[in-house]
Amino acid sequence: QVQLVESGGGLVQAGGSLRLSCAASGRTFGIYAMGWFRQAPGKEREFVSAIAWSVGSSVYADSVKGRFSISRDYASNTVYLQMNSLNVEDTAVYYCARSKYGTLQYVREEDFDYWGQGTQVTVSS
C-alpha cells in the first residue's frame, strides 16, 4: 500500500516562502511521477506541479511558474515543493499525489491514484 504524508504548511505573509514535503512509503516510486495539487475554498482542486521521479523533469501550472519549484530526494522517498513569492491566491489545501504513469504527459487529477491527506497553506496580505 502506498502512503503519502504531507507537511510544511502554515501561515505566511504575502511575499514569503514555504517548503512543503511529501514523504512516500510503500511500493516503488522509481517509475512513477509525483505531483502537487491544491484546492482553495469553494474551488475545484487544481494541478500545481509534477516531477518525473526517474529523470527529474518537471512541469508547472502557469499560475506558479517561476515561483514554485518541485524536487525529489531518492534516499528518503520525499518530494518537495518550494514556494516563493507567495500571494493570497496561493491559499489552499495542498495535496501530494502519485501518478499512474512515469511521464509528465498526464497531469489531470484522474491520472493520479494515491493521495495524501493535505496540508493547509494560508497566505495573509
DSSP letters of 48-107?
A: EEEEETTT--EEE-TTTTTTEEEEEETTTTEEEEEE-S--GGG-EEEEEEEESSSSSS--
Number of Cβ within a 10 Å radius of residue 10 = 13
pLDDT for position 70: 98
What span, in angstroms and rounded, lies between the C-alpha atoms of 37 and 50?
9
CA distances (Å), 71 to each of 34, 53, 79, 124, in order? 10, 9, 6, 26
Q: Which residues of the chain register pLDDT less than 70?
A: 27-29
Give the pLDDT confidence of 103-113 residue by residue, as tens digits.
898 999 999 99
pLDDT for position 119: 98
Contact 60, 115 (CB under 8 A): no
pLDDT for position 1: 82
Give the pLDDT confidence of 69-78 residue by residue, as tens digits.
999 998 899 9
pLDDT for position 28: 60
What span, in angstroms and rounded, lies between the C-alpha atoms of 55 and 42?
35
